[in-house]
């Protein structure tokens, strides 16, 4: 359990807290042509994808020898030793070959979330909303998947490397979870309008 840190690094990552605020003010009056059914389908995709991403991260950390207890053959041993695991530190010790895979994985993740949004809605404003919804659900599911499998993060104050593109984004886990939760709340409060056929 680390100490609470109010700010992420680099400094501009802190501006992400404005995403849910902007979403709320942009879509609260005019509403969105993004039905509950579409949000539900996007949610199902994002939850499944979040777990897949968590599994891939676990596999990459194990392949790099950075996941304590993975060689002992039981998930229980990995969970027991997760208190010593430091995600942000492990990225610094990643072999360059796997770091390249990690960066490509992150880019592929963004492309998949963007394609989901493009398929979910015909108009730009709804596509943005669909992307934000998918991203927020995916992000929460990713951390839930990591915790369910290897019991990391051990605390919301655990330091994580959020992204590596274009430079490493580092923050405590509570920060992306807060942004994602507030984004879902902002989009949930947006009025749903009938789709124009």
* pTM of structure: 0.88
- Tell me what pLDDT residue 83 has: 61
Q: Give me the tens of pLDDT residue by residue for the chain, a chain 197 residues long.
A: 568 888 899 999 999 999 999 999 888 888 888 888 999 999 999 999 999 999 998 888 887 777 777 776 677 777 766 666 666 566 677 788 888 888 999 999 999 999 999 999 989 999 999 999 999 999 999 999 999 988 888 889 998 889 889 998 999 999 999 999 999 999 998 877 655 43
- Tell me what pLDDT residue 61 has: 81
CB distance 31 to 193 below 8 Å: yes
CA-CA distance, 96 to 57, in Å (whole number)? 15
- Tell me what pLDDT residue 89 has: 62
Beta strands in the chain (DSSP E): 159-163, 169-172
User: Nearest to residue 88, comparing CAs of 173, 151, 175, 11?
Assistant: 173
- Tell me what pLDDT residue 5 has: 86
- Tell me what pLDDT residue 48 has: 97
Query: pLDDT tens-digit profile of 105-152?
Result: 999 999 999 999 999 998 999 999 999 999 999 999 999 999 998 888
- Tell me what pLDDT residue 196 has: 46
- Tell me what pLDDT residue 84 has: 62
- Tell me what pLDDT residue 138 has: 98
- Tell me what pLDDT residue 73 has: 66
Q: How far is CA 51 from CA 34, 55, 56, 75, 142, in A?
A: 24, 6, 9, 16, 5
């Amino acid at each position: 359990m680390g100490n609470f840190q109010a700010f992420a690094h680099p400094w501009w990552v802190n501006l992400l807290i404005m995403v849910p605020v902007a979403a709320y003010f942009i879509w609260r009056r005019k509403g969105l042509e993004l039905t509950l059914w579409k949000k539900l389908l996007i949610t199902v995709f994002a939850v499944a994808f979040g777990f897949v991403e968590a599994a891939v991260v676990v596999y990459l950390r194990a392949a790099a020898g950075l996941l304590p207890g993975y060689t002992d053959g039981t998930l229980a041993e990995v969970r027991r030793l997760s208190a010593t695991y430091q995600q942000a530190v492990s990225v610094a010790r990643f072999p360059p070959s796997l770091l390249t895979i990690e960066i490509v994985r992150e880019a592929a993740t963004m492309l998949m979330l963007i394609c989901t949004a493009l398929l979910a809605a015909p108009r730009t404003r709804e596509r943005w909303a669909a992307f934000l919804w998918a991203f927020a659900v995916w992000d929460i599911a990713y951390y839930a998947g990591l915790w369910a499998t290897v019991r990391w993060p051990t605390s919301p104050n655990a330091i994580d490397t959020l992204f590596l593109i274009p430079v490493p984004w580092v923050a405590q886990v509570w920060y992306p979870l807060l942004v994602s939760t507030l984004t879902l709340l902002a989009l949930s409060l947006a009025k749903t309008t009938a789709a124009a056929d």
